[in-house]
Structure 1
Amino acid sequence: MDNITNEEKQQSIEAFQSVIRKSENALASMKSGSAQSRLLEKRLKAARIGEGLLAARWEGKELDVSHDELVEAKQVLEGLLLMLPGFLEKTKPGSGQRTYIERRIKAFQMAVSYLNE
């Protein structure tokens, strides 16, 4: 994972930022305290940690989160990685949606890989 181009790094950060934006927007319209909102909050937290982890790793900075938060983020991202290929199968080759999902998968894989270290 060390031979990643600057373009791939940028696309991975943008994939996480997109997940964060969409999650924040969805959360704003949900009933607070519901099972769906709690799940989305966990995913949002994992996405923020994933984005921070990639940025910290590539910029040589420290990530200020606890070990427990890293473990939880890893579990959430791994769970999302299991779901994403199903969405990928429903898209047409060469479509913008397919490219978007492929970039998200790659970003999540990188973050999980770094979390495994």
Structure 2
Amino acid sequence: MVAHVALASFLYVLLTIARAPKIWGIGQRPDGSNPWATVEPRISANLSNQFEWPLLFYAACLLLIQSHSEASIASLLAWTFIVGRVAHSCVQVLTTNIRLRGLVFTVNFLATLGLWVVVLQPRTAA
């Protein structure tokens, strides 16, 4: 979860930099235009995405922590989700390839569903 917070924080910093020419005039081109104008909406959209599906990732992680689950598969799924989120951010911010973005999102989607399967596994008393 900390890795995802770091990703979202990085995206906030990147968005601030991308908006600086428009908001503060810092980094404008000689003609006054924003060199980040084409990528700024994609950064903003990606940042919004960090608060949609990941909500279910956080809920699953918190339930696993609360249950003191030591399932290594849960750790693998959580890290798969994080790597997928980073890849999703790179694809969404750096390209306009919707198909690739959908494919990468599917990795995040399946990893989170896998976490929920682990959460829903019956626990046996020790």
Q: TM-score range by the shorter chain?
A: 0.3 to 0.5
Q: Which has the higher contact order (CA 8 A, sep 6+)?
A: 1
Q: Give the TM-score normalised by structure 1.
A: 0.39
Bigger radius of gyration: 2
Q: Give the TM-score normalised by structure 2.
A: 0.37
Higher helix share goes to which structure? 1
